[in-house]
């Protein structure tokens, strides 16, 4: 990253030159100190990792007809970028990444909460801070929760060896490391493809394309890193003094993330709600897919924050979007969010117990009148519709209880029959075109999708389905819905671009426990290739002094840890560190292991053919699978 190219912008130049022009009183710009032009951040190779360029169209106060008016204003507020003063001794860098970096000035240096998504943006954010506030050393790093946009940039702000030498703590909530790696390991390939729909980062920027992500502008494309925590917050409340700053840590597990905590700074009269309280409705289950979050608990943590800490705070802020200042506004803000999640939970469950299905409840429920016009609880990121479905999923799962849908035909089988029953492709399209004119876009998308699944080469069907989806995108309040609809429309029009598989971050692989690695093999087993096969392969990891036995029976790979060597057809000896390096290969797991054996990096004892047999049964995942067509 080359920082010398950045001219500093401050005050009015930044606000009107690169900023949004949103009302001066808007909290999004309050406390602005300085920024870089377009917040442009490049990697070592000169590649642009992050930029706010391309969003200039949002300077217009009046919404484009192709963007939901509420989302337009949220997108304008998310244009704010640079260093912001939250209160005495607390600063944030915003708009340099999807998430915020919070900087707390201590006695000797600066405490960093959440070093962004990648090393490049984190390094840039710290550089901007230091340009304004002096060369303060980093005296602690805190991860608020286990999502990559809150830890992935840590090597951009901290040198691990230096941290060890100087005893600089890296602090995280209980269970952080397991959750940080596990979310991306088992379901990672599916989630990463679906993330393209949620964030729209492969879409162009523009009034008919990507405008925002609700929580922030976009996602950066840089180097994801991880330094494992050296201290874990284990109790519900822990009070620590770090670099002279008193911090009350409050755990909030199973809320927005499985491992999460928020913070109160008594001396600084400040409350940081991590990711459980920012000015937009969040997801109970994001479109990319995730384990469902618990709305009831989430609401309870906000209630705790409201009663325990808010009365002693002059400002509340989060690791996305902007802060809220002033006692009354803070109390109102937290109470409204608390009630948003409680309302969503309770009303969904009430109707569920009246026998309504998720689809029906989502059609029926609206925000209560008291919240209907409150900007900060609107669904610019999550949405009430999909959050209702997530609550039902949390309690009842995928099945809506009607056996008609217990074993429905898959789209490639039902599609052709729908088309035939509707009188053929031409008849279907003629009626769908009329409905499209009438604005029945949800229905048109559904019905033309049957034809796309019956005949993916049918260009008129693809075009009409794309048109309907695009209109749904233009009307969507949620940025994630908009992104999903618009990417789907693009893929129907232009097909699915082929992208190369990207190796995972070595820092993440290094901390993957052996059981998770063996699960990663197991989920790649192509069952038909394993029919009638029985394998027993021992693994020894000398650096961890761990022994594992991997068994194949009944087309299932299982494993267990053993204390002593056990009988097996073959044994592999490899250090965990070496294994992590091999996994980082873009080759895929099976090929990387085969390569490791060939190169002698993995020592093999016993019957070599058994290991080759196992590797020949393993699948690899393609990153760009089809979503809107068969």
Binding piece for Zn ion, criterion CB under 5 A, among 70-78, 274-282, 453-461, 582-590:
274-282
* Residue (114 or 243) nearer to Zn ion, CB: 114
Query: Across-strand partners of 366?
Result: none
The least CB distance from residue 228 to Zn ion, in Å, is 20
- For residues 420-459, which are near Zn ion according to CB under 5 A? none
Three-state DSSP class for residue 604 = strand
Burial of 342 (0-12, 13-18, 19+ CB in 10 A): middle
Binding piece for Zn ion, criterion CB under 5 A, among 22-30, 269-277, 278-286, 353-361:
269-277
The least CB distance from residue 324 to Zn ion, in Å, is 18
Supply 347's token pair: 């009303």
For residue 48, CA distances in Å to 39, 40, 52, 80, 223 come to: 11, 7, 11, 19, 12
Do residues 108 and 143 touch, judged by C-beta distance below 8 A?
no
Binding piece for Zn ion, criterion CB under 5 A, among 146-154, 309-317, 395-403, 552-560:
146-154
What's the residue count for the chain?
Answer: 630
Tell me how far apart the alpha carbons of residues 173 and 150 are, in angstroms, rounded to a whole number.
Answer: 12
Tell me how far apart the alpha carbons of residues 520 and 588 are, in angstroms, rounded to a whole number.
Answer: 11
For residue 313, CA distances in Å to 87, 97, 208, 236, 306 come to: 11, 27, 41, 20, 10
Tell me how far apart the alpha carbons of residues 313 and 270 are, in angstroms, rounded to a whole number.
Answer: 5
Tell me how far apart the alpha carbons of residues 163 and 65 are, in angstroms, rounded to a whole number.
Answer: 51
Supply 367's token pair: 């925000």
* Residue (150 or 394) nearer to Zn ion, CB: 150
For residue 521, CA distances in Å to 302, 475, 558 come to: 40, 43, 10
The least CB distance from residue 157 to Zn ion, in Å, is 17
* CB closest to Zn ion, residue no: 149
Three-state DSSP class for residue 388 = helix
The least CB distance from residue 278 to Zn ion, in Å, is 9
* Residue (117 or 348) nearer to Zn ion, CB: 117
For residue 452, CA distances in Å to 371, 421, 432 come to: 40, 15, 13
**What would the x/- binding string for Zn ion be over residues 233 to 252, using CB under 5 A?**
--------------------
* Residue (276 or 362) nearer to Zn ion, CB: 276
Please, which residues have CB within 8 angstroms of residue 622's CB and are 6 or more apart in sequence? 189, 501
260 sits near Zn ion (criterion: CB under 5 A): no
* Residue (149 or 212) nearer to Zn ion, CB: 149
Q: Pick from 27, 97, 114, 149: which binds Zn ion (CB under 5 A)?
A: 149
Tell me how far apart the alpha carbons of residues 356 and 32 are, in angstroms, rounded to a whole number.
Answer: 48
The least CB distance from residue 96 to Zn ion, in Å, is 14
The least CB distance from residue 308 to Zn ion, in Å, is 23
* Residue (149 or 260) nearer to Zn ion, CB: 149
Binding piece for Zn ion, criterion CB under 5 A, among 105-113, 142-150, 384-392, 441-449:
142-150
* Residue (101 or 310) nearer to Zn ion, CB: 101
Tell me how far apart the alpha carbons of residues 212 and 219 are, in angstroms, rounded to a whole number.
Answer: 10
Binding piece for Zn ion, criterion CB under 5 A, among 147-155, 160-168, 171-179, 399-407:
147-155
* Residue (182 or 319) nearer to Zn ion, CB: 319
- For residues 529-568, which are near Zn ion according to CB under 5 A? none
Counting residues that bind Zn ion (by CB under 5 A) gives 3
Which parts of 455-598 fold into alpha helices (H)? 459-475, 479-494, 506-510, 514-522, 527-530, 576-583, 589-598
Q: Kindly provide the b/e burial profile for residues 138-172, where b requires at least 16 CB atoms within 10 angstroms of the residue's own CB.
A: bbbbbbbbbbbbbbbbbbbbbebeebeeeebbbbb
The least CB distance from residue 150 to Zn ion, in Å, is 6
The least CB distance from residue 99 to Zn ion, in Å, is 5
Supply 596's token pair: 């490791």
* Residue (225 or 448) nearer to Zn ion, CB: 225
Other Cβ atoms less than 10 A from the Cβ of 549: the count is 19
* Residue (147 or 490) nearer to Zn ion, CB: 147
Query: Across-strand partners of 561?
Result: 548
The least CB distance from residue 216 to Zn ion, in Å, is 8
**What would the x/- binding string for Zn ion be over residues 67 to 106, using CB under 5 A?**
--------------------------------x-------
* Residue (98 or 392) nearer to Zn ion, CB: 98
Tell me how far apart the alpha carbons of residues 274 and 260 are, in angstroms, rounded to a whole number.
Answer: 8
* Residue (199 or 343) nearer to Zn ion, CB: 199
The least CB distance from residue 262 to Zn ion, in Å, is 13
The least CB distance from residue 439 to Zn ion, in Å, is 35
Half-sphere exposure of 155 (CA within 13 A, CB side): 16
The least CB distance from residue 114 to Zn ion, in Å, is 8
* Residue (286 or 588) nearer to Zn ion, CB: 286
Three-state DSSP class for residue 332 = helix
The least CB distance from residue 248 to Zn ion, in Å, is 22
**What would the x/- binding string for Zn ion be over residues 283 to 302, using CB under 5 A?**
--------------------
Contacting positions for Zn ion (CB under 5 A): 99, 149, 275
């Amino acid at each position: 990253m080359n920082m010398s190219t950045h001219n500093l912008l401050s005050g009015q130049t930044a606000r009107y030159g690169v900023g949004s022009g949103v009302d001066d009183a808007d909290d999004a710009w309050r406390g602005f100190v300085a920024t870089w032009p377009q917040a442009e951040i490049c990697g070592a190779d000169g590649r642009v990792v992050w930029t706010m360029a391309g969003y200039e169209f949002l300077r217009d106060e009046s919404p484009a007809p192709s963007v939901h008016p509420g989302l337009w204003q949220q997108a304008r507020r998310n244009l704010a970028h640079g260093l912001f003063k939250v209160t005495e001794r607390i600063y944030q860098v915003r708009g340099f990444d999807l998430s915020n970096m919070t900087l707390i000035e201590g006695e000797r240096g600066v405490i960093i909460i959440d070093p962004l998504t990648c090393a490049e943006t984190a390094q840039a954010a710290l550089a901007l801070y230091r340009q304004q506030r002096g060369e303060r050393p980093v005296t602690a790093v805190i991860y608020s929760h286990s999502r990559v946009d809150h830890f992935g940039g840590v090597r951009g702000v901290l040198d691990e060896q230096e941290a060890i030498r100087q005893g600089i703590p890296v602090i995280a909530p209980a269970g952080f490391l397991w959750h940080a790696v596990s979310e991306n390991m088992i379901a990672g390939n599916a989630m990463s493809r679906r993330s393209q729909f949620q964030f729209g980062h492969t879409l162009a920027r523009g009034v008919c394309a990507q405008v925002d992500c609700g929580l922030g502008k976009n996602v950066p494309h840089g180097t994801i890193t991880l330094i494992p925590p050296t201290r874990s917050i284990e109790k519900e409340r822990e009070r620590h003094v770090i670099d002279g700053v008193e911090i009350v840590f409050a755990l909030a597990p199973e809320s927005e993330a499985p491992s999460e905590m928020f913070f109160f700074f008594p001396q600084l009269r400040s409350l940081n709600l991590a990711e459980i309280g920012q000015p937009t409705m969040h997801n109970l289950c994001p479109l990319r897919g995730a384990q469902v979050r618990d709305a009831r608990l989430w609401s309870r943590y906000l209630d705790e924050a409201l009663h325990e800490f808010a009365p002693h705070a002059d400002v509340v802020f989060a690791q996305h979007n902007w802060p809220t200042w002033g006692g009354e506004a803070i109390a109102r803000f937290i109470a409204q969010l608390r009630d948003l999640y409680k309302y969503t939970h309770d009303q969904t469950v009430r109707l569920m117990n009246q026998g309504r299905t998720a689809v029906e409840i989502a059609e029926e429920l609206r925000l209560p009148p008291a919240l209907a016009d409150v900007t900060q609880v609107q669904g610019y990121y999550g949405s009430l519709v999909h959050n209702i479905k997530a609550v039902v999923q949390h309690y009842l799962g995928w099945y809506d209880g009607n056996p008609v849908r217990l074993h429905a035909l898959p789209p490639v089988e039902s599609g052709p029959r729908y088309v035939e029953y509707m009188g053929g492709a031409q008849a279907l399209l003629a009626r769908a075109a009329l409905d499209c004119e009438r604005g029945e876009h949800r229905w048109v998308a559904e019905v033309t999708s049957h034809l796309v699944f019956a005949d993916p080469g049918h260009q008129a069907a693809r075009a009409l389905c794309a048109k309907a989806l695009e209109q749904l995108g233009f009307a969507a309040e949620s940025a994630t819905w908009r992104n999903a609809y618009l990417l789907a429309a693009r893929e129907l029009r232009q097909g699915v671009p082929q992208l190369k598989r990207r190796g995972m971050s070595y820092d993440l692989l290094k901390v993957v426990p052996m059981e998770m690695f063996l699960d990663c093999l197991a989920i790649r087993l192509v069952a038909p290739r394993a029919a009638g096969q029985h394998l027993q392969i021992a693994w020894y990891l000398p650096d961890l002094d761990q022994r594992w036995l991997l068994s194949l029976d009944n087309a299932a790979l299982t494993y267990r840890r053993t204390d002593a060597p056990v009988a097996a057809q073959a044994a592999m000896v490899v250090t965990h560190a070496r294994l992590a390096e091999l996994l980082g290969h873009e080759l895929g797991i099976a090929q990387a292991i085969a390569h490791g054996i060939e190169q002698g990096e993995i020592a093999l004892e016993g019957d070599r053919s058994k290991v080759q047999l196992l590797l020949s049964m393993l699948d690899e995942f393609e990153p760009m699978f089809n979503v809107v067509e068969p």
